[in-house]
Amino acid sequence: MKPMIPTPTPRLINELQSFGARLVDPKAGHESRRGGAGPSDHKAITIDGTTVMVPVHTAPAFESPYLVEKPDGLGRSRISRDGVALASVSFPPRPRFYDLSTADGVPYWKIAVLHGRDVLATTVLQTCIRYQSRTKTCRFCAIGQSLAAGRTVERKTPQQLAEVASAAVRLDGVTHMVMTTGTPPGRDRGAAILAESAAAVKAAVDLPIQGQCEPPSEDAWFWRMKEAGIDALGMHLEAVTTDVRERIMPGKAQIPVARYFDAFAAAVPVFGRGQVSTYILAGLGDTQEAVLATCERLIALGVYPFVVPFVPISGTPLESHPAPSPAFMHDILAPLARMLRASGLRAADVKAGCGRCGACSALSTYEREAVA
Ligand code: SF4
């Protein structure tokens, strides 16, 4: 009789996201996310029904104690540590929309990609005012890498996004969409291109959309984005204390945390409680206490704090920065899940985006455990 394999625990997911995993077959599953905006160098792996993004191309992943065996003909595999099988895993199949191209010959996968299990993700504008200069760039970001490598196009037009979103729904059953953007010059900070892109997608297909941008300088943009079809909004703090923000993201830190909180307070009545979120990268220098105190303030405003472990991306200035330990993540995510539970905010209620997907963090697994 085979030994019983337990369902994934928050501990296993935390360890996988901190240490990464070695793949016996690097070609298993569909293409990994490499470069691009935000976290990258991961592969989507489904562990007993829960899809998580696991670092596989980072320096720590090459030394990871976790090993994913070569999948069988149906894409099924096992994950083991020191020769002991811990869970059965599978890889989301290559999306069918990846085989299509626009009329002008751009492959759909250069316009948007599959994240997690059922999320369509795009970076509408693949350049950023902050990425141009070494003194301003966010030190964790790889937005220019996939562009330089020819894996994406600089500006995805509203028509292209509508075409790809329709195909991804029809062929691959995606259930929501994330639209992020590099920050363009101008006071709207990307809200305008997100709004025009969302309007085109919504005219073509009924798909919940999360927009992600820096706080625009006028709060009126929140209504404009909502009216254009954006269902949920992400404005990402990334780090929470001023000195860490100034060190890690000197350009973006020019917009102070106080402006983010004003923007959150203005956006929640527009999008609804729990439909505005922020992404916090734990492990960049903020203490657990600082992260949790910020999350407490966010939750009080009705903002969902999506806390993910920092992943050092190859080719970025932080490629040698350590990922946070599983214990560090546990000491944030366990109390955070209890706070969320007490407030009634749930990942499962977020209409679209990273909070709903949850694949980059063990947070939603902790939330389910807190409920149980
Ligand atoms: S949590 Fe966000 S960034 Fe991570 S896989 Fe899901 S949609 Fe992509």
For residue 110, give the nearest of 172, 157, 54, 174 by alpha carbon: 157
- Give nearest CA residue, ligand 1 atom 3: 354
Give helix 220-228 / helix 257-271 axis angle, nearest 10°. Answer: 40
Which phi and psi angles does 254 have, rounded to 5°?
-65, -20
- For residue 185 the two structure tokens come to 């010059």
CB of residue 336 inside a 6 A radius of ligand 1: no
Shortest-distance atom of ligand 1 to CA 42 = 5
Q: Mapping DSSP to helix (H, G, I), strand (E, B) and coil, where does residue 322 land?
A: coil
- Ligand 1: which residue has its CA nearest to atom 7? 354
Instruction: Please check whether residue 234 is in contact with residue 260, taking contact to mean a CB–CB distance below 8 angstroms.
Output: no
Q: Is 309 exposed, middle or buried (0-12, 13-18, 19+ CB in 10 A)?
A: buried
Q: Which ligand 1 atom is nearest residue 39's CA?
A: 3
Q: Is 47 in the pocket of ligand 1 (CB under 6 A)?
A: no
Print pLDDT tens along the chain (372 aa): 333 334 568 889 999 999 999 988 777 766 665 555 555 678 889 998 889 999 888 777 888 999 999 888 787 899 999 889 988 999 888 999 999 999 889 999 999 999 988 999 999 999 888 887 778 888 888 888 888 888 899 999 999 999 999 999 999 999 999 999 999 999 999 999 999 999 999 999 999 999 999 999 999 999 999 999 999 999 999 999 999 999 999 999 999 999 999 999 999 999 999 999 999 999 999 999 999 999 999 999 999 999 999 988 888 888 889 999 999 999 999 999 999 999 999 999 999 999 999 999 999 999 988 877
Q: Which atom of ligand 1 is nearest to the CA of 306?
A: 1
